[in-house]
Structure 1
Amino acid sequence: MHSEPSTPTTETTRQGTGTHTDRGTDHAALPGTIRETAPEAAPASELVTAFPTARPSGCPFDPPRELGELREERPITRMRYPDGHMGWLVTGHSATRTVLGDRRFSSRQELMHYPGPGTHEGPLPPAPLGDLTAIDPPHHTRYRRLLAGKFTVRRMRALTTRVEEITLAHLDAMERQGSPVDLVAAYAHPIPALMICELLGVSQADRELFQQHTSVMSAPDLNMEKFMAAWAALTEFIANLVVTKRAHPTDDLLSDLTTTDLTEEELAGIGTFLLAAGLDTTANMLSLGTYALLTNPEQAAALRSDPEIADQAVEELLRYLTIAHTGVRVALEDVELDGHLIKAGESVTLSLMAANRDPARFPDPDALDLSRKATGHLAFGHGIHQCLGQQLARVEMRVAFPALFTRFPTLRLAVPAEEIPLRSESNIYGVRRLPVTWDA
């Protein structure tokens, strides 16, 4: 799975515009010593000593209870990181949105401290070439300007017909196979994988090999050795694809980018980044979203009875699940945030899932309610790093959710809900398997 160092959401343009402009200081020139700022003392009673990660027992869709309690008591609070760094934890919607939109907070990977256990010891390396999520302007600006026009709402909606064809083919295959099936392998993973093939211009002859590599990365028994082998194979695949597109361009995003001043290494990095960012996130939204609907049958019934609410349903599922749940930023200078002085060099952990359950922004936030107008959620981030592929992800979900529940009106879990294996350790939350069944 793609590691998202600065924000767990996919890199993307502002919704509805497809373009943006980076302005301000060239923070890439700031010295690495920014990490050495002396921390400000905090009362022991207000210090978070470990980032909460354990979700409530029996509530696989809810954030850790401690995050909700912090959000209600002090939405911006001091936190000690595993490496001893004294930084901050932000859980409120308003403050989270402010940090994401403020250029004084950096996304540069090499400046950051991370809140989770087993974090990297010592200074981190710079982001891999082509990873837009972990760099700042002006480098971010260059990549973003080249990509923004490729991800417009109009262009992504034009792919709807292809999404519908791919979705129908997999529903037909599920029906032929008969229940039970693992929805991850049969439906949730292959749809975004094939759409990435469309986006990058992977030929029909190579798609089986491409899917073999990506399927390994979603396997329930995935371990680090298998992951690294699959990732190396995919990286090589994309690098070879870049060479092919330079020599024989076709009508796809990667071919378009070969006409720019990007080097082959940059093109391969961007291609790999788009693959990682656009596949795992959407696949887990489709599988975890189906799990959530099956355990909220009245909401599933609402979607089944009125597929026209798909747009609204997708936004609510994005808010409710917030699978890309945690982000980190670093203050480039002293910043006052809601009465708190965040000093230059201090890392700020953003709990996007806590922010999206903030009752100050969303009434009755712990309820999944497809009739809700969930505008303003932060599932795709905010600011210049807002998810670049969000429009394609929306198209895929708007098609796939109603189609699944319409084709199989008796769809239900094939095992008890508590037996569904969760990806609790991942920075992209989801399920490893989702066994489902239906009446023939």
Structure 2
Amino acid sequence: MTDVEETTATLPLVRKCPFSPPPEYEALRSENPVSRVGLPSGQTAWALTRLEDIREMLSSPHFSSDRLDPAFPMMVARQIRREDKPFRPSLISMDPPEHSRARRDVVGEFTVKRMKALQPRIQQIVDEHLDALLAGPKPADLVQALSLPVPSLVICELLGVPYSDHEFFQARSSKMLSREVSPEDRQAAFEQLENYLDELVTRKEANATEDDLLGRQILKQREAGEGDHDELVSLAFLLLIAGHETTANMISLGTVTLLENPEQLAKIKADPDKTLPAIEELLRVFTIAETATSRFATADVEIGGTLIRAGEGVVGLSNAGNHDPDGFENPDAFDIERGARHHVAFGFGVHQCLGQNLARMELQIVFDTLFKRIPGIRIAVPVDELQFKHDSTIYGLHALPVTW
């Protein structure tokens, strides 16, 4: 067992090729798979780059997700909360047993069965946006025409958030995820979105129905003789941001990747059963929210032969793990028939992504419909001119000009 203190890198490391992890990950994984790194917050933490170590850490009860604790490794400057408005942690910031209870209350909203019930409406949303895309001018920005509005509208209808407010919450979520926004502006965006959802939940509490997730949660709480307004606001906050930002970016990145790999795209067009395996491979290749697997140790723990002491932060670099040759043969190749669903793009353990069934279904409907209805779609500019989100904690594309 080793006890390493020297800092080997400062995160975040930049993807030199937009379709590959930062090249430094390979050296870290082979030479210092558990290494000390610097963070933008001024903290130091341990970085994990091997798939096995990341999965071990995420399944251990000795690591906490509590983002309020000063030991939690932050990838942006820590927000300073007003004393008169204490922060209420959401699901991703909770530890068992609080997390177990809160997740159990809402997990039924995201079962495969419930997602299939949403399928016709999602198909309708995709078709309507493709109708508008085809009727409009060329070239068009696929981000604004399809990638962003489809998951935004889906999550709004699921939660019961007015889609007419999408420009407001999309602008705030973009600021919160940007690495280039000042701490003050990020804090302002956070509070504006929190206040908006606070008022929305208050209105729903006055007239709760079974028509949307928030209404159903309110009625469930009342039936149990409970009621937690702040927890519902935190839940809405998490699901609204996660429900549109991640899927929107995967639609854009997946479209570019499939267009750049026509032999792989041809397999999907010939056999729709290959779309879901292709989605798993896209999730693995990009791992767009790779530092969502950050934690801190609550006890002295050995991971990968290295002692991590209680109170030390750990960043599971899941993009590095998803390109670990010990976990995936020829990991840098894009192969839709790889059949490797043991990636950690959705996390692992008790905090594995709650909405992953919804994300998979949205991506499947979008890709199947897009390439069927617009078989001649192509990128309208050279790939090296595309605006990839190297400035955001969730990777993606700012714009995707396409024509057909």
Secondary structure, counterpart of 1:258 in structure 2: helix
**1:73-107 deviation per Cα after TM superposition (whole angstroms, max 9, x unaligned):** 33222334566655311000000011011110111
Question: Aligned residue for 1:171?
Answer: 130
Q: Which moved more, 1:269-278 or 1:134-143?
A: 134-143
Instruction: Output the amino acid matched with 2:398.
Output: R
Residue equivalent to 1:252: 212
Deviation sequence 1:135-161 (CA, Å, 0-9, x none)? 212322231121112221211121111
TM-score under structure 2 normalisation? 0.88
The within-5 A match list for 1:201-212 is: 201-202=160-161, 206-208=162-164, 210-212=165-167
Letter of the 1:75 counterpart = P
Query: Does the C-alpha gap of structure 1 residues 82 and 130 become closer, same or farther in structure 2, counting only changes over 3 Å?
Result: closer
Name the counterpart of 1:190.
149
Q: Which residue of 2 aligns with 1:107?
A: 65
Matched letter for residue 258 of structure 1? I
Number of aligned residues = 389
2:168 to 213, 228, 240: 213
2:199 matched residue in structure 1: 240
- Counterpart position of 2:18: 60
Residue 265 and residue 376 in structure 1: after superposition, are their counterparts in 2 closer, same or farther (change >3 A)?
Answer: same
Residue number in structure 2 paired with 1:42? 4
Residues 400 and 127 of structure 1: CA distance in aligned 2, closer, same or farther (over 3 Å): farther
Equivalent in the alignment of 2:259? 294
Contact 2:139–2:401 (CA under 8 A) maintained in structure 1: yes
Contact 2:279/2:360 (8 A) holds in 1: yes
Retained in 2: the 8 A contact 1:130–1:273? Answer: no
Where do residues 321-332 of structure 1 align in structure 2 (5 Å cutoff)? 321-326=286-291, 327-332=293-298
Change (3 A) 1:84 1:263: closer
Q: Establish whether residue 96 from structure 1 lines up as the match of residue 62 from structure 2.
A: no
- Equivalent position SS for 2:388: coil
- Residue 308 of structure 1, CA deviation: 2.4
Q: Distance in 2 between matches of 1:135 and 1:177?
A: 45
Kindly state the Cα deviation for residue 296 of structure 1 after the two structures are TM-superposed.
1.9
1:405-424 alignment, distance < 5 Å: 405-424=371-390
Which residue, 38, 51, 54 being the options, matches 2:11? Answer: 51
Q: CA deviation at 1:120?
A: 3.8
Q: State the 1:315 CA deviation.
A: 0.8
Which residue pairs with 1:17 in the alignment?
none
Question: Compared with structure 1, are the counterparts of its residues 189 and 229 closer, same or farther at alpha carbon in structure 2 (3 Å cutoff)?
Answer: farther
Amino acid at match of 2:31: E
Q: Indicate the residue corresponding to 1:275 in structure 2.
A: 240
Deviation at 1:237, TM superposition (A): 3.7
Tell whether 2:387 aligns with 1:429. no
Please give the alpha-carbon distance, in whole angstroms, between the structure 1 residues aligned to 2:70 and 2:94. 10
State the shift of 1:119 in Å: 3.6
**How has the CA–CA distance of structure 1 residues 434 and 214 changed in structure 2, closer, same or farther, with 3 Å as cutoff?**
farther
Distance in 1 separating the partners of 2:200 and 2:82: 30
Distance change >3 Å, CA 366–CA 243, structure 1 → 2: same
Which of 307, 320, 331 is equivalent to 2:272? Answer: 307
TM-score when scaled to structure 1?
Answer: 0.81
Aligned counterparts of 1:158 and 1:287: Cα–Cα separation in 2: 25
Question: For the residues of structure 1 that align with 2:192 and 2:309, how far apart are their CA atoms?
Answer: 42
Instruction: Report the Cα offset of residue 400 of structure 1.
Output: 0.5
**In the alignment, what sits opposite 1:148?**
107
CA distance in structure 2 between the partners assigned to 1:242 and 1:315 by the alignment: 35
Shift of residue 234, structure 1, vs aligned partner: 4.1
Letter in 2 for 1:280: E
Higher mean displacement: 390-399 or 76-85:
76-85
How big is the alpha-carbon RMSD for the aligned residues of Structure 1 and Structure 2? Answer: 2.8
Residues 85, 271 of structure 1: CA spacing in aligned structure 2 closer, same or farther, 3 A cutoff? closer
Using the TM superposition, give the Cα deviation of residue 240 of structure 1 relative to its aligned residue in structure 2, in angstroms: 2.9
Spell out, residue by residue over 1:158-190, the C-alpha distance to the aligned partner (whole angstroms, 9 max, x if none). 111111110111111101114211111100011
- AA aligned to 1:294 is L
SS of 1:432's partner is strand
Q: 1:423 Cα shift?
A: 1.0
Equivalent position of 2:328 in the other structure? 362
Structure-2 change in CA distance of 1:382 and 1:374 (3 Å): same
Secondary structure of 1:348's match? strand
The one-letter code of the counterpart of 1:390 is Q
1:112/1:328 contact within 8 Å kept? no
- After superposing on structure 2, the runs of 4+ consecutive aligned residues of structure 1 that deviate more than 6 Å are 121-127, 225-230
Q: Deviations 1:21-43 (Å, cap 9, x if unpaired)?
A: xxxxxxxxxxxxxxxxxxx9637
Is it true that 1:180 corresponds to 2:139 in the alignment? yes
1:402 paired with 2:368, answer yes
- One-letter amino acid of the counterpart of residue 27, structure 2: E
Tell me which residue corresponds to 2:30: 72
2:361 and 2:133 map into 1 onto residues whose CA distance is 21
